Amino acid sequence: MNQDLKQLKTKKLFLLDMDGTLYLDHQLIDGTIPFLDTLKKQNKRGIYVTNNSSKSVIDYVKKLSSLGIDSTEKDFYTSSMATARYLNEFHFGKTVYCMGTASLKEELNSKGIKIAKDKDDFVDVVLIGYDTELTSQKLYDVCWLLKQDLPYIATNPDYVCPVEFGFVPDCGSFADMIYNATKKRPIFIGKPHPRMIEYAIEASGYSKKDAVIIGDRLYTDILSGINANITTICVLSGETTLEDIQQSDIKPDFILDSIQTVYDIIKA
């Protein structure tokens, strides 16, 4: 093992992308369970970090459980959580129009954020998420509200979300639709912005030098780690190929085949 790889053994906080890194759809990637067990045995911390704002943390606990992974709500940091934190920091006490799922609204509400009933409520801030319950009425409302120059926020910039047959449009694509109508762009909260990674590290109590992010997407997972100035590992088990990395400006600190290789390094 080269010296650089040995540094990974000193890391204490592992920020983990899920799809493409720990599993593909409904199939665990080899090495995931031994890797997670080793983190526990070595008193290290794993936090699942996701840009998906359509599902609640409870949904993710259930999803991981169906794959044989035990987790609790404390093991996650989602773009919904980061958005709640951001709203409470920069728009405290304000009323938010949320183009998002019922589950996103519930999560924000549980963190003390007031959600507008409709566009005619006294709206202070416009928020869009990966709304899998999207209607044209909601798009109409957002465009109407943006006419008034309100602060405009989006949970995550991803253009697509992987599903069984390929991809469907995600929050970044919704933002483009709205841009075409309004010429307004939101402030994006999730990866690759370092904000979400910094919030997750802060909530964990560890410091940046203890942290490493592991993911399969260069322009979200790896870029967020670079932007937050922490160690990055790109695994080749998901979206990114070695060729993609060679052609990209986004260079991870380490390129490893899969989570199995990470496990081999940290267990040794």
Give min distance, CB of 117 to Mg ion, in A. Answer: 35
Point out which span in 13-21, 26-34, 68-76, 174-182 binds Mg ion (CB under 5 A): 13-21
Q: State the residue number with the nearest CB to Mg ion.
A: 20
* Closer residue to Mg ion (CB): 125 or 222: 222
Instruction: Find the part of the chain contacting Mg ion (CB under 5 A) among 7-15, 16-24, 63-71, 134-142.
Output: 16-24
Q: Return the number of the residue (76 or 152) whose C-beta is nearest Mg ion.
A: 76
**Selected binder of Mg ion within 13, 17, 32, 60 (CB under 5 A):** 17
Q: Are 240 and 229 in contact (CB under 8 A)?
A: no
The least distance separating Mg ion from the CB of residue 160, rounded to whole angstroms, comes to 12
Question: What's the closest the beta carbon of residue 17 comes to Mg ion, in angstroms?
Answer: 4
CA–CA separation, 90 vs 82, rounded Å?
12
129 near Mg ion, judged by CB under 5 A: no
CB 156 within 8 A of CB 171: yes
Which stretch in 15-23, 36-44, 138-146, 200-208 sits in contact with Mg ion by CB under 5 A? 15-23
Residue closer to Mg ion by CB (options 23, 188) is 23
Q: Which x/- pattern, by CB under 5 A, does the window 197-236 give for Mg ion?
A: -------------------x--------------------
CB-nearer residue toward Mg ion: 17 or 170: 17
Q: Which is nearer to Mg ion, 140 or 167 (CB)?
A: 167
Tell me which of 11, 16, 20, 61 binds Mg ion, using CB under 5 A: 20
CB-CB contact of 131 with 174 (8 Å)? yes
Residues within the interface to Mg ion (CB under 5 A): 17, 19-20, 216
